[in-house]
Amino acid sequence: MEITRSKLFEIDAAARALDASVKNVKLAYALAKSLQKMEGEIAAVRKAGKPSKAFEEYNAKRGPIAAAHAVKDKEGKPTVFNNIYVILDQAGLDAALAPLQEEYAEAIADQKKQAEAMEEMMEGIVDIEFHKVPADMFEKDDIFTKDAAGLGQLLAPLFGSIIDIPV
């Protein structure tokens, strides 16, 4: 089946979520087979997207500077929202980061180019032959998930069509 790499990552995440809650042995086997078929492509994409050592070094040095400029909670720890430090004085942080950004300018530019290339690559088409899961393999209480309908729609490539998972 031809799908975009970004959709493949979504299907992989949904299949893993479903796999963790399946009691039906045949269904668990079919999901495991499909997960195996996706692994190679996903591993290759992750490897291609890995930042350079220079950028990782920059990021490691940038983190403590950002933490030092972040809003502190009652215990004096940096406040984080959506995996980002809460910064009130952005100009102060920018000034503190300027020398580091200058030192790692090439690594930062390369990372931006890599991120753009990755975005383009994620919309590229891959051909994955999923291990099809017959929809009649589902029975009531086979799956414990609040979002079974959403998973059924997302996992349609594994089932051949959108299915209604009985919950």
Token digits for 135?
């929809």
Question: Residue-wise pLDDT tens for the chain (167 aa)?
Answer: 888 999 899 888 888 877 777 777 777 787 788 889 899 999 999 999 999 999 999 999 999 999 999 999 999 999 999 999 999 999 999 999 999 999 999 999 999 999 999 999 999 999 988 777 666 666 655 554 444 555 555 566 665 544 444 43
Token reading at 48? 């291609």
Structure tokens at 41: 């492509």
pTM, two decimals, is 0.71
Secondary structure class of 112 (helix, strand, coil) = helix
- Burial (CB < 10 A; 0-12, 13-18, 19+), residue 138, is buried
Give, for 125, the enclosing helix (H) or strand (E): strand 125-127
Q: Is the C-alpha dihedral spanning 39, 114, 99, 76 positive or negative?
A: negative
CA atoms within 13 A on the CB side of 59: 10
Residue 101 carries which side chain, given as an amino acid letter?
Answer: Q
